Amino acid sequence: MSVEYTYKSLDPSVPLRYNRDDAAISFISHLIPNKMNNLLTDNPAALQALMSETIFSTGFSTDQGGVSQQGNTEEVAFDSSSEEFVFQGDKSTGVLFILRYPEFPYFSPQAEEAFVKTIGALQLTPHNVAVVNLANPQNPNEFKRIMEFFKPTKITLLGVEPASLKLPEIAHNSYMRGRIATVFNTFSFEEMFVDIEKKKLFWGEFKNFIGS
């Protein structure tokens, strides 16, 4: 379904028109509501330009005042599995996201929403990537076993310190390239919610990493 929007640039006299798909429209309106009226979409180059220059300079729209935290006394209902790791999605694509959320089975609700819309802007879905939460007691926190089980080629650490997996130091928004897989170390979504510079750094590298 096509929807027409118009997004105005910083110069209000210069309207910008882009072609994009519905998933991207949903992602953009989540990040910059109240700044869009009509926009025409299906051009991937325009999508990248708008997201790079506009969305991550304005930031996520998540209201941190409304973020609910699960109480420490409430037991988390982690998923279980007959396999070695408990995970969501599809590990066969080689794209793996590693989290550590002790208070949630996977992401926090706000982080999950941002995650789905972020990967959706790059033509990915929760069904064609794998997501593993290392806080799940069933999941081994060993990089060798992660590699053997998931056989990934692109690994994103979302707020997980490389040292916790006995990996060499990797600066934030930097890579460790191995013979089989590349590890991208970046911030958690919670960190990006409150720091616009971290959002911009993340998006600038993440879109290149996934597109490479």
Neighbours of 104 (CB within 10 A): 18
More confident residue, 25 or 122: 122
pTM value is 0.69
Identify the bridge partners of residue 154 per DSSP, sorted by sequence position.
95, 182
Residue 77 has what pLDDT?
A: 84
Whole-number Å distance between alpha carbons of 138 and 20:
41
* Amino acid found at 58: T
Per the document, the length of the chain is 212
Strands 88-89 and 154-158: unpaired
- Contacting residues for 41 by C-beta, under 8 A, at least 6 apart: 2, 3, 5, 18, 19, 20, 21, 22, 24, 25, 47
pLDDT score of 11 more than 70: no
Return the half-sphere exposure (C-beta side, CA atoms, 13 A cut-off) of residue 181: 22
Residue 94 has what pLDDT?
A: 96
The angle formed by the CA atoms of residues 25, 30 and 34, to the nearest 5 degrees, is: 95
Chain segment 142-187, per-residue pLDDT in tens: 999 999 999 999 999 999 999 999 999 999 999 999 999 999 999 9
Whole-number Å distance between alpha carbons of 147 and 89:
16
Residue 44 has what pLDDT?
A: 52
